[in-house]
Chain A
Amino acid sequence: MRTPLGWLQLRHDRGRFLVAIAGIAFADLLMFMQLGFQAALYDSNTRLDRAFRGDVVLISPKALNLQNLSTFPRRRLLQALDVPGVVDAQGLYIRTVNWRNPQTLRSATVQVLGFDPDADVLRLPEVQAQADRLKLPDTVLFDRGARGRYGEVIARLDRGEPVTSEIERRTIAVGGLFRLGASFGADATLMASDQTFLRMFPRAKAGSISVGLLTLAPGEPVAPVVQALRRHLPDDVQVLSHADYVQFEENYWRVASPVGFIFGLGTAMAFVVGVVIVYQVLSTDVNAHLQEYATFKAMGFRQRYLLLVVVEQALILAALGFIPGVLMPVWLYAVAAKATSLPIAMTLGRATTVFVLTLVMCLASGAIATRRLQAADPAELF
């Protein structure tokens, strides 16, 4: 077996070794946080979209994202039912509004969904179970995962005490809780019946809806029906499969909003920081051993052997730096999830991505550092 020179050399200088591992762990931590927030952004902003029950989604062509959906005529739902394969069509009213936080009595932004409580439009079992309460006038359900100071409100509701608030000068009763979670677009979500919704917003027209959810006959392939709907319906409505609709929402945040770019840039910068740290450590290590490397060359070792020593060191640093680099974010994700009510957690996919980035980072730095090896000249030894 070859003497593990790279490992022995790293271990010899404990201080430098620890600095290197800490540096890589820090770069990994930064990348994990950036990628974690990015994923949480996409995940939280599509969570409600994914909860829509429907095979095909109708939205206005002017729609940007869930918070800016615009509206289209309700008649399109009836027209959609003419297309073979479509068995049910439901409309959703969506608006963002200020309500009075029942706990702080201050104004806060909430997103309100209005729909027919008898129609099963959301894949949220808690909402389904409490649909009857929505039939009471001016009664809404509140998101347990909302961001903001709602702890006492939730505690009161859990004890069964009545909670009221005010929207557009109208007193609203909070009739129950469900769990969805905050997103970057909305701090909190209220579920309401279509009747309550229209009473809340007198200027909203019953004939203008934000989202249409179409259910197809069981086993009906989606793509041909989407094509048929596009031919059948006028241009004032956009027809998307549910999956494409979720993608549409995600694309808004990925492309049209600056947020996706910011986190991407943050990840890239963390990567560069990692390269600089590892390069510093490896090139210092090569410099410190230049005389010894020259001796190895004099003994007949080839340049390639010394390259492998640096690569060995790069790989060891990558592996050892990744361990704290992956453990710290697990904890920080929990802290961040608690503080922001965003769905942030470690995933195997992201851990793999960051590990590969760490390897690339260390090997790239190693490759730059090996250029210093040329300076090891055995003729200078005597």
Chain B
Amino acid sequence: MGTGAMTSAIVIEGLNHHFGRGLVRRQVLFDVALQVAAGEIVLLTGPSGSGKTTLLTLIGGLRAAQGGRLRVLGRELVGATALQLTLARREHGYIFQAHNLHRSLTAAQNVRMALEMRGTLSDGEMDRRARRILESVGLGDHLDVKPDQLSGGQKQRVAVARALVGEPPLLLADEPTAALDSHSGREVVLLMQRLAREQGCTILLVTHDSRILDIADRTLSLEDGRLC
């Protein structure tokens, strides 16, 4: 691997995954192989049940990988302990289908939590960065508003800000536009693209929203657990 690992954000070889045990054991991923270069924006499409969300959770370290090779940002995730997975997750930004913002926290506090988790910045710096990124997603005047007072598109923009405020080298997104109308969906994706480009961040985005296919460097399709 050597030089390949230096420039590839994700290297996957022979990745299989099963759900269940015994008689109900069912294979959902078959011998998946994939390389994503650092800074690349890759879209993963496919019908529902094709295994794309499973693949995303494995890459994100949200689920323990069972076999094959799965190297993300230079870390081998097959056979990793729970703590290693937790540490790996700190390098990723996540955007979920639902915004998953914390209801008790304001927009700025939600974004700040991503920085607090690292624990390396001063209070003032954390506040400043949270404010700056919310301004750059167009929510500079909604800093102290709680999620239930924001529209769907605004909430998803806060989620984008939260995912990117720590400048992660890898951004993973699962159907980020599914809950949004076409206009705000496109807006959110363009925002992701712009911020990721500025930060040199790799994006892997699962979607079957055909309206956003044009933002990708490359589009992959997964069908019945196989990449094609």
Which A residues lie at the B interface, using CB under 8 A?
1-3, 5, 8-9, 11-12, 289, 291-292, 295-302, 378-379, 381-382
Residues of A within 8 A of B105 (CB): 3, 5, 8
Tell which of B67-75, B93-101, B209-217 binds the partner: B93-101
Q: Is the CB of B102 within 8 A of A2?
A: no
Interface hub of A291, A295, A296 (most chain B Cβ within 10 A)? A295
* B147 smallest CB distance to A (angstroms): 10
Main secondary structure of the interface of B (DSSP, over half): mixed
Interface 1/0 per residue, B35-61 and A, CB below 8 Å:
000000000000000000100110010
Residues of B within 8 A of A9 (CB): 104
Q: Which of B53, B112, B113 contacts A382 (CB 8 A)?
A: B53
Q: Is the CB of A300 within 8 A of B90?
A: yes
Q: Is the CB of A298 within 8 A of B60?
A: yes
Q: Which of B100, B112, B113, B114 contacts A381 (CB 8 A)?
A: B100
Q: Is the CB of B123 within 8 A of A381?
A: no
* A79 smallest CB distance to B (angstroms): 79
Residues of A within 8 A of B98 (CB): 291
Residues of B within 8 A of A2 (CB): 116
B132 interface contact, C-beta 8 A? no
Interface pairs (13), CB distance under 8 Å: A1-B123, A11-B104, A292-B100, A298-B89, A299-B90, A299-B114, A300-B86, A300-B87, A300-B90, A302-B83, A378-B89, A381-B100, A382-B53
Residues of A within 8 A of B206 (CB): 382
A292 to B103, CA, bound (A): 8
Q: Which of B62, B87, B113 contacts A378 (CB 8 A)?
A: B62
B128 interface contact, C-beta 8 A? no
B109 interface contact, C-beta 8 A? yes
Q: Is the CB of A3 within 8 A of B109?
A: yes
A244 to B206, CA, bound (A): 81
* B105 smallest CB distance to A (angstroms): 6
Q: Is the CB of B60 within 8 A of A295?
A: no
**Smallest CB gap from A302: residue in B:** B86
* A308 smallest CB distance to B (angstroms): 12
Interface hub of B98, B104, B117, B123 (most chain A Cβ within 10 A)? B104
Identify 14 new A-B residue pairs, CB closer than 8 A, beyond the known A300-B86, A378-B89. Answer: A11-B104, A291-B100, A295-B100, A296-B102, A298-B89, A298-B94, A299-B113, A300-B87, A300-B89, A300-B92, A381-B62, A382-B57, A382-B62, A382-B97
A303 to B172, CA, bound (A): 22
B174 interface contact, C-beta 8 A? yes
Q: Which of A3, A295, A298 contacts B112 (CB 8 A)?
A: A3
A76 to B123, CA, bound (A): 81
B218 interface contact, C-beta 8 A? no
* A170 smallest CB distance to B (angstroms): 77
A12 to B113, CA, bound (A): 17
Residues of A within 8 A of B90 (CB): 299-300
Q: Which of A8, A295, A299, A381 contacts B104 (CB 8 A)?
A: A8
Q: Is the CB of B86 within 8 A of A295?
A: no
- The interface on chain B, measured as residues whose beta carbon lies within 8 A of the other chain's beta carbons, has a size of 31
B63 interface contact, C-beta 8 A? yes
Residues of B within 8 A of A300 (CB): 86-87, 89-90, 92, 117
Q: Is the CB of A382 within 8 A of B96?
A: yes
B80-139 interface (Cβ within 8 A of A): 83, 86-87, 89-90, 92, 94, 96-98, 100-105, 109, 112-114, 116-117, 123
Q: Is the CB of B56 within 8 A of A382?
A: yes
**Smallest CB gap from B83: residue in A:** A302
Residues of B within 8 A of A5 (CB): 102, 104-105, 113
A301 to B117, CA, bound (A): 6
A381 to B98, CA, bound (A): 9
A381 to B96, CA, bound (A): 7
Residues of B within 8 A of A297 (CB): 86, 89
Q: Is the CB of B117 within 8 A of A12?
A: no
* A346 smallest CB distance to B (angstroms): 36
Interface hub of A12, A296, A299, A382 (most chain B Cβ within 10 A)? A382
Residues of A within 8 A of B117 (CB): 296, 299-301
* A306 smallest CB distance to B (angstroms): 12
Residues of A within 8 A of B114 (CB): 299
- In order of increasing CB-CB distance, the 3 nearest A-B pairs are A300-B90, A12-B104, A379-B63
Residues of A within 8 A of B97 (CB): 382
Residues of B within 8 A of A289 (CB): 102-103
Residues of B within 8 A of A291 (CB): 98, 100
Q: Is the CB of B100 within 8 A of A3?
A: no
**Smallest CB gap from A2: residue in B:** B116
* B53 smallest CB distance to A (angstroms): 5
Residues of B within 8 A of A1 (CB): 123
**Smallest CB gap from B64: residue in A:** A379
* A307 smallest CB distance to B (angstroms): 14
Q: Which of A295, A298, A302 contacts B102 (CB 8 A)?
A: A295
